Amino acid sequence: MEVKTSLLDNMIGVGDMVLLEPLSEDSFLDNLKNRFDHNEIYTYIGSVVISLNPYRSLPIYTPDKVEEYRNRNFYELSPHIYALADEAYRSLRDQDKDQCILITGESGAGKTEASKLVMSYVAAVCGKGQEVNKVKEQLLQSNPVLEAFGNAKTVRNDNSSRFGKYMDIEFDFKGDPLGGVISNYLLEKSRVVKQPRGERNFHIFYQLLSGASDDTLKKLKLERDFSKYNYLSLDSATVSALDDAANFRTVRNAMQIVGFMEDEMQSVLELVAAVLKLGNIEFKPESRCNGMDESRIKDKNDLKEMCELLGIEQSVLERAFSYRTVEAKMEKVSTTLNVAQAYYARDALAKNLYSRLFSWLVTRINESIKAQAKTRHKVMGVLDIYGFEIFEENSFEQFIINYCNEKLQQIFIELTLREEQEEYVREGIEWTNIEYFNNAVICDLIENNQNGILAMLDEECLRPGTVTDETFLDKLNTICAQHQHFESRLSKKSKFLNDHSLPHNCFRIQHYAGKVLYRVEGFVDKNNDLLYRDLSQAMYKANHSLIKQLFPEGNPAKVNLKRPPTAGFQFKASVGTLMSNLQTKNPNYIRCIKPNDKKASHIFTESLVCHQVRYLGLMENVRVRRAGYAFRQTYEPCLERYKMLCKNTWPHWRGPARQGVEALMTDLQVPAEEFSYGRSKIFIRNPRTLFFLEEKRKQCLEDLASLIQKIYRGWKCRSHFLLLKKSQIVVASWYRRYAQQKKYQKIKHSTTVVQSYIRGWQARKLLRELKYQKKCEEAVTTISAYWHGTQARRELRRLKEEARRKHAVAVIWAYWQGLKVRRDYRKFFRANAGRKIYNFTIQRIMQKYFLGLKSKLPSMSPIDKSWPARPYSFLDGVHTELRRIFHLWRCKKYRSRFTEEKKAVYAEKLEASELFKDKKAVYPSSVSQPFKGDYLEISKNPKYQKLSSGVEEKILLADVVNKINRANGKGSSRIFLLTKKSVILADQKTGQVKASVPLPELASVSTSTQCDGFFALKLKEGSASAGKGDFLLSSDHLIELITKLHRISSTAADREKLSVDISDEFLVQFKQDKVCVKFIQGSHKNGNSVSCKRKNNRLLEVSVPPSP
């Protein structure tokens, strides 16, 4: 079962300031400090989250923490930004309410990190899927891009947002993100050209110079040294907490994920480099003849490189820095610029170029992350905007920022009261009016269309004549002097005349967060935000793909003489749109507070935090929240938490939860005026009542814990006793079993010993009987053996004696027979002995010869000419005849293994031998090469498919030959096809048939005796193919080609056999002329190639390399 916790459990200090008792500024700060010292950086004011910047990483943003706060009640766990994000997301998903999360606080309070945490939490708890994950990744990766171009290091914050950002994240009906829209407000573009001491320019400049590759910097015409660029401050160019090189790689990767193309990223970096180059352009005065000073550029190298980056003609931009053209109706006046005006124009161009680039980036990101579906979307807005600013010197930027914060405070009070009132009406609780400070009067002082400060500033900027900051201040003193929140030393109020804290060139406004002194210097120029038309037109003439989009007013075809809207007017309109947007959504607030100015952890500066608490109106927020009921909770969790305080509700309440709470409050005798019953919640007016319930619950829990401990200890002792009892029984039973087993084993062992002794005695008795019986049997056997041995030896002696007598008789008989034969043979031996010895010798020699020949026979190859030598000369005839017979026999054996195809090949080889042996020098090299026939594989090659299909007969030979041109002796490649009926010549590249000659029309073939491949196909006179004359060709397979031609003609019964002429000089008929082809042997210095040259009209000379 899940363990339910509460905001009130294990609480350090007070988690919700609404419950703080007593409520004062000191107790408020003490509670914040106590929680901050224990790493509790989040505290509630009702549904508002106060966030203290810890300036270090805390282990409270892990995936486990995300799961812990997922789908949990807002007050169920300790305060956390995830609780607010989860509440907003579930309201949007389940109740179909558009949400907005307003994050405010001064620079360095952690607003940007808070917005990232909200977005990362929503991304973690919403749906999954490939498309959804892609959208989430694009939304999250838009932050690094905007931070690089819109954030900078300030004295208060290393990553300070110098623009306001409002992002609408769009969801479908399931709660999955579909896309988003980003709006930006008032980029601090003056930072581009000048930074206060100890601060940096925007991050992207340092990231580009630190992280870009050498090749990229070379293309952008930049160097890594920060000191080379006037727009980059050097006293704090390197920040230890920032890795600019790694951040540059992160930004490039983020731009790719968001959807920027490679050429777009390159264009953006070129514009950033152009801004740096622009800051290096310096001017010098030059006197004219009329006595006026004009400006000239000192060193044009930076101007040249900038123009090359942007694709602008150098002369056009140089003129725009030196002259200003003013148009009025039909008139156009051109004036020169002095050095101060030139520097103003340069800085104005740099600020406008960077500001418009930033706006283009926001637009481009919106194109990538916008929702594609056309259906209605649920929207969650996240507003990360600069907080209230009070510096030593406050100018136009602080005035605009503080005006925006006044509007946010106004809508915060209105929406908080409205939410409170709506909840009371929804729950049926009587609404009582709450007294609070309404800052609408301050907003009206600033934004009133007639007498507001912004309206007067616009009026002063548009007024003809001399307009200065002093005339604007005089106008304020005249119109706003009687306003209770406006103070000026030059106003008509006498109480400020001697106020030395109020300089003459300043005015002071009493904001809701305190008084702020504004120095009027620069108000008019910054509100005008003028960029000379000459510079706009020069930028429009650029060939750069992005510049023309940024300066559309520079188009000469669309010249607009109307003055552009002022910065104050544009910002006022943007704030109005933002307020209208926020009014349509359910608000959720995160108030960020900076604990110290040192950006160090574990330091809590009370004066600084007190100042922020005051201007954020947090005390007033608590009072508004507590003006009605300080605490409210639905009946089910309330009854679940406090049910142990009443016997009727403990341990289980069976009825409705409201009746259970009513029974509980009645039993506790809580005064009726301290609480009210709503439709779904109980409302508790005073925190003391809640703390009373908590104290009673704590005491009851202690009593219950004692009861549980008593019952547990009794149960544990009884369980231990029963376990011991059960163990004793088991041990006793096991011991009795063991004793009986030992007794049984002892008896068994004794029985076994007695039995073994008896069996041993019986066995030994039986053994003695068996031994005696065996001895008797062995004695009989021994006597019998001795008797049989005696008998056998007697018989053996008798047989030996008898055999000796028989052998003696045989020997005597053999001697007698031998003597008798020798006596009879002696008289015939001398007459026939010689011939018999001769015949016997010859027979032995012949036998030895044939046996030796059998073991020395040569191999079965017909070309093997080896044969064993004859041992005797009288065997010469036999030896020769046997060699002939053996050769014929192995030739027959060899032929019997031939297939029909192989027989045909050898028949062709035999015919080639008859035609060319000892006649053609190239013939010996062709003997070992098999006749392949189709060298082009014409039936398989798709290149010759058309040619193959056009030949009806079977192709016997297909090869590439050279057709010799009689004009110059050069050859052109042709495909040579031979069938049983014709010879075909075709183009090698196209496969088109050039000539087709039927075989009956061939008269003869001529070739030389040399090592060449030339041959002539001579046609019969008067034949159809003889019109163009004979064919002089050259082939690497000459022997095979002519052999196949001759063989086809000799096998055909209807035509004459083709004649083959082999001569080093023959005639060839070319149309009407006869040309002599003569073959000569070339020298070694000409190499091994065959060359053919035309000597005259009647002679072609072929030079053949000498034979090896």
Residue type at position 505: N
Q: 14-42 pLDDT, tens per residue?
A: 888 877 888 888 999 999 999 999 989 99
DSSP state of 287: E
Q: Answer yes or no: 157 catalytic.
A: yes
For range 646-675, the mean pLDDT: 79
Residue 290 has pLDDT above 80, yes or no: no
Distance from C-alpha of 536 to C-alpha of 551, rounded to nearest angstrom: 6
Q: Are 152 and 162 in contact (CB under 8 A)?
A: yes
pLDDT for 1: 33
Strand locations in 195-349, DSSP E?
Answer: 283-287, 293-297, 323-328, 331-336
Alpha carbon distances (Å) from 230 to 161, 201, 225, 281: 23, 11, 11, 9
DSSP of 615-683: HTTHHHHHHHHHSS-SEEEEHHHHHHHHGGG-TTTSS---S-HHHHHHHHHHHHT--GGGEEE-SSEEE
How do strand 99-104 and strand 993-998 relate by DSSP bridges? Answer: unpaired
Give one word for 175, left, alpha or beta, with left for phi > 0 and alpha for psi -120 to 50: left
Residue type at position 201: N
Estimate the crossing angle of helix 687-855 against helix 635-642, to 10 degrees: 100
pLDDT for 328: 59
Select the highest-mean-pLDDT range: 220-224, 542-546, 816-820, 855-859. 220-224
Residue 433 has pLDDT above 70, yes or no: no
Residue 311 has pLDDT above 80, yes or no: yes
Alpha helices in 529-596 (DSSP H): 533-540, 547-550, 567-583
Distance from C-alpha of 429 to C-alpha of 677, rounded to nearest angstrom: 8
DSSP of 958-973: EEEEEEEPTTT--EEE
Q: 335-388 pLDDT, tens per residue?
A: 888 888 888 888 888 998 999 999 999 999 988 888 876 676 788 888 887 777
Distance from C-alpha of 860 to C-alpha of 883, rounded to nearest angstrom: 13
Percent of the chain with pLDDT over 90: 15
For range 646-656, the mean pLDDT: 81
Number of residues assigned to the chain: 1108
Closest alpha carbon to 123 in 109, 148, 104, 140: 140
Secondary structure element (H or E) that encloses residue 381, with its range: strand 378-384
Q: Are 540 and 349 in contact (CB under 8 A)?
A: no
Distance from C-alpha of 189 to C-alpha of 352, rounded to nearest angstrom: 8
Residue 850 has pLDDT above 90, yes or no: no
Q: What is the largest CA-CA distance in the chain?
A: 191
Q: Answer yes or no: 387 catalytic.
A: yes
How do strand 586-593 and strand 48-52 relate by DSSP bridges? Answer: parallel
Report the chain's terminal Cα–Cα distance, integer Å.
104
List the structure tokens of 794.
Answer: 């007697």
Angle, CA of 622, 627 and 628, to the nearest 5°: 120
For range 1040-1050, the mean pLDDT: 84
pLDDT for 2: 40
Residue 677 has pLDDT above 70, yes or no: yes
Q: Answer yes or no: 2 catalytic.
A: no
Q: Which one is predicted more confidently, 826 or 736? A: 736
pLDDT for 829: 60
Residues facing 863 on adjacent strands: none
Q: Are 976 and 961 in contact (CB under 8 A)?
A: yes
Q: 788-797 pLDDT, tens per residue?
A: 888 888 888 8
Q: Answer yes or no: 389 catalytic.
A: yes
pLDDT for 522: 83
Q: Answer yes or no: 928 catalytic.
A: no
For range 1053-1068, the mean pLDDT: 81
Q: 455-499 pLDDT, tens per residue?
A: 888 888 877 767 788 888 888 888 887 888 888 877 656 566 667
- Options 160, 210, 355, 962, the catalytic residue: 160
Give pTM, 2 decimals. Answer: 0.59
Select the highest-mean-pLDDT range: 243-247, 340-344, 395-399. 243-247
For range 837-847, the mean pLDDT: 82
pLDDT for 627: 65
Closest alpha carbon to 1036 in 1090, 992, 1083, 984: 1090
SS3 401: helix
List the structure tokens of 189.
Answer: 């573009």
Residues facing 202 on adjacent strands: 152
Q: 696-734 pLDDT, tens per residue?
A: 888 888 888 888 899 999 999 999 999 999 999 999 999
Would you place residue 8 in the very low, low, confident or very high pLDDT band (cuts 50, 70, 90)?
low
Residue 5 has pLDDT above 70, yes or no: no
Q: Are 150 and 160 in contact (CB under 8 A)?
A: no
Among the residue ranges 648-652, 782-786, 827-831, the one predicted with the least confidence is 827-831
**Quick one: CA torsion of 378, 383, 384, 387, rounded to 10 degrees?**
-170
Distance from C-alpha of 1005 to C-alpha of 1017, rounded to nearest angstrom: 5
List the structure tokens of 421.
Answer: 């009132």
The mean of the pLDDT values for the chain is 83
Residue 992 has pLDDT above 80, yes or no: yes
Q: Are 226 and 205 in contact (CB under 8 A)?
A: no
Cβ-count burial 910-941 (b if 16+ within 10 Å, e if not): eebeebbeeebbbbeebeeeebebeebebeee
SS3 934: strand
Closest alpha carbon to 42 in 18, 69, 60: 60
Q: Which one is predicted more confidently, 276 or 1026? A: 276
Q: Are 412 and 200 in contact (CB under 8 A)?
A: no
Residue 4 has pLDDT above 50, yes or no: no
List the structure tokens of 814.
Answer: 């053999």
Q: Answer yes or no: 190 catalytic.
A: no
Residues facing 164 on adjacent strands: 185
Distance from C-alpha of 14 to C-alpha of 6, rounded to nearest angstrom: 13
- Omega prior to 22 cis, within 30 of 0: yes
Q: Are 683 and 675 in contact (CB under 8 A)?
A: yes
Neighbours of 280 (CB within 10 A): 17
Q: Are 518 and 399 in contact (CB under 8 A)?
A: yes
DSSP state of 16: B
For range 256-274, the mean pLDDT: 91
Q: 862-886 pLDDT, tens per residue?
A: 888 888 888 888 888 888 888 888 8
Residue 133 has pLDDT above 90, yes or no: no
List the structure tokens of 329.
Answer: 């109706």
Would you place residue 827 in the very low, low, confident or very high pLDDT band (cuts 50, 70, 90)?
low
How do strand 506-511 and strand 486-488 relate by DSSP bridges? Answer: antiparallel
Select the highest-mean-pLDDT range: 154-168, 568-582, 701-715, 904-918. 701-715
Would you place residue 417 in the very low, low, confident or very high pLDDT band (cuts 50, 70, 90)?
low
Q: Answer yes or no: 112 catalytic.
A: yes
Residue type at position 107: S
- Options 107, 1007, 1008, 1103, the catalytic residue: 107
**Is 873 exposed, middle or buried, given 0-12, 13-18 or 19+ CB atoms closer than 10 A?**
exposed
Angle, CA of 1028, 1034 and 1038, to the nearest 5°: 120
DSSP state of 572: H
Neighbours of 81 (CB within 10 A): 23
Residues 6+ apart with CB under 8 A from 175: 89, 92, 93, 126, 127, 378
